[in-house]
Structures are given as C-alpha cells and as structure tokens.
Amino acid sequence: MTIKNNQNEQLSSNAPKKKESNFAFIDSQNLNLGTQRMGWKLDWRKFRKMLETDYGVTKAFTFIGYMSGNEQLYEYMHELGYLVVLKPTLDISHSSDKKQDGTQEKEKAQVKGNVDVELVLYALKEMPNYDGAVIVSGDGDFYSLIEFLTGSNKLKKIIAPNWQYSSLLKPYEDNIVRLDKMRRRLEYKKRRPSNG
C-alpha cells in the first residue's frame, strides 16, 4: 500500500505542468501616447511577441476608439495577433472664442474614445478563462480593477508606457514593468529598402 502511494506521488511530480494562460488588456491610447511622449514609437509586432514570450499572454485584447478610415490599421492589428475591441468615438469639437480683431478662431477637432469601461468589463468577464491578467496602462482609472485582480490572485503584471504612471499605482510597484526601459527592444524602426 505504501509503495503504491509513493509511485503515485512520483508520477504526479513528473507530470508536465499546465502551461500558464495569461490575457493582456491594453489601453491602446495610453500606450501610444505614453511612448510617443518619450520620443519613440512602439513596434506592435515586437510588443505582441514580448507579451507572449515574457508573460505567457495567449490573448491580447487591445481597446481602441473607432475612427472611420482606420479599418486597415484594425485589420493589421488583428493580423499581428491582437483581439481588437473598438469603442465608438465622440467628436467633441467646440466653438472657439472670437479673436480681438473680431474674426473667429478655427475649431480644433477633438475625438474622444475612452475605453476604460470596456477594458474593465472584459478583464472581469474573461476572468474564468485566464490564469493571470496583464494590464497595459499607466492610468490610475484602473486602480480598482488592479486592486480586485490582486485580491483574486489574478494580477500578473502592469505594463506602463513610461515612468509617468499614476501615483495611484504606487502600491503595486513590484508588479509594474516600464516600457521606456525596453525601448531598444520594442522601438519601431522603418525597414530600409533593399538594394537589389
């Protein structure tokens, strides 16, 4: 009887471990603006590969404000392996004040496509399907989500675009990875045409 138990223990310890399946939830505007503010552009192909190899990300949801005419970009992101979630945008242009000479200033077109609610909703809805969540944003609006994921033992990492992430995230600094420290690895570089 004892021999059988030892054999069973040996068999279970030799069994291959289940590969971790983590999901990324990406605030694309925060990510884009955060890297561009630091003077560089993210290579989305390299970033998707990094998510997979470094953090075991099997699904990467990227949340984007939909703009007509950008369909080719959304298709490209999908081809790179992102699950693109589009949020309708609002045109929040406002009339400008008159100049001192009486002429009207031109309106500045502003498009608003806040994806925070969608990102939180997907992270919670998908929770039974992943081992860990990778939240890609430095926005303090995700504090409650991060707190909840931590309490549920589901937070894998927070990836912030740069050092200017929200002070609300300071309690989770041990989980924060900064992309500005990976610029050389993840920066988009235009491919030079081959001479041939």
CB of 158 within 8 A of CB of 146?
Answer: yes
The residue behind tokens 């309690």 is: 171
Domain range for 44 is 38-89+112-189
Q: Could you tell me the CATH number of the domain that includes residue 55?
A: 3.40.50
Residue 163 is predicted with a pLDDT of 93
Q: Is residue 64 part of a domain?
A: yes
Number of domains in the chain: 1
For residue 160, which of 147, 150, 175, 149 has the smallest C-alpha distance? Answer: 175
Parts of the chain with a pLDDT under 70: 1-17, 89-113, 191-196
- With residues binned 3-state (H G I as helix, E B as strand, rest as coil), the percentages for the chain, rounded to 5, are 45, 25, 35
Question: pTM (2 decimals)?
Answer: 0.78
Residue 110 is predicted with a pLDDT of 47
Number of neighbours of residue 23 by Cβ within 10 angstroms: 26
Residue 103 is predicted with a pLDDT of 55
The residues, any chain, with a CB within 8 Å of residue 95's CB and separated by 6 or more, are 104, 107
